[in-house]
Amino acid sequence: MIQFKKVTKIFYPQTVALKDVSLRISPREFVSIVGQSGAGKSTLIKLLTAAEQPDKGQILLGGWEITNLKAGDIPVLRRQIGVVYQDFKLLPRKTIFENVAFAMQVCGVSNKRINQVVPQVLKIVGLKEKSDRYPQQVSGGEIQRAAIARALVHRPKILLADEPTGNLDTLNTKDIIDLLLKINEFGTTVILVTHNKDVVNRIKKRVVVLDSGQIISDQEEGKYVL
């Protein structure tokens, strides 16, 4: 369970990025977060990864209060959450396999375990055949799938995707959304931030609309009507 309790985030001096936001997301839910530019969507994602701290309110993850964490607890939190960004960059001198493996190496995971897990996640995202290619030898959609693979290596309970399809054409966008839906069916909570009305309306799951830092609509099988 993810819980935001009256969360306010201010970027001083004058921007109220989130104002009194309360939100509950159950395990295994798929939630799309939509809203205009500057509405506070990425801020919400950053608060969940403890990249930013709220000014007021509490954020709980499985009953664990993640606001004002000790420095040592931040890696523990981040291993439970996979994150994918729009402008995700792969390391150009590493293959797809090595890029995904790198996320485990930096956490001190053994090579034996890396060689088990990386092929599994690459298979899930449909990149097994291309694992030895370098980033410049694959398409934008495939880079985004590699980004998702990288976010999955720690078997996160929660996957946060902030505009993961922003740079993609319609066909690649559909593939990425289908992949997120598949990951969700395996039991991962997925929070998808998107501007794309067609995407949201095709997913037919819960939609939370943010406007100027506040939730103005929260509907099951919602539509994006702004």
CA distance 51 to 35: 21
Locus of tokens 């053994």: 110
Residue 14 found at the interface with ligand ATP (CB under 6 A): no
Strand, helix or coil at 61? Answer: strand
To the nearest whole angstrom, how small is the minimum distance from the Cβ of residue 37 to ligand ATP? 3
Residue 37 found at the interface with ligand ATP (CB under 6 A): yes
Could you say which of 7, 34, 43, 190 contacts ligand ATP (CB under 6 A)? 43
CA distance 204 to 201: 6
Q: What Å distances lie between residue 212 and 27, 106, 206, 218, CA to CA?
A: 27, 37, 20, 15
To the nearest whole angstrom, how small is the minimum distance from the Cβ of residue 33 to ligand ATP? 8
Q: Which is nearer to ligand ATP, 22 or 26 (CB)?
A: 22
**Residue 119 binding result from Mg ion, ligand ATP, none, given CB thresholds of 5 to 8 Å by partner type:** none
Residue 42 found at the interface with Mg ion (CB under 5 A): yes
Q: What Å distances lie between residue 47 and 21, 57, 121, 122, CA to CA?
A: 12, 11, 26, 28
Residue 39 found at the interface with ligand ATP (CB under 6 A): yes
Q: Which two tokens stand for residue 134?
A: 């370098």
**Residue 38 binding result from ligand ATP, Mg ion, none, given CB thresholds of 5 to 8 Å by partner type:** ligand ATP
Where do contacts with Mg ion occur on this chain (CB under 5 A)?
Answer: 42
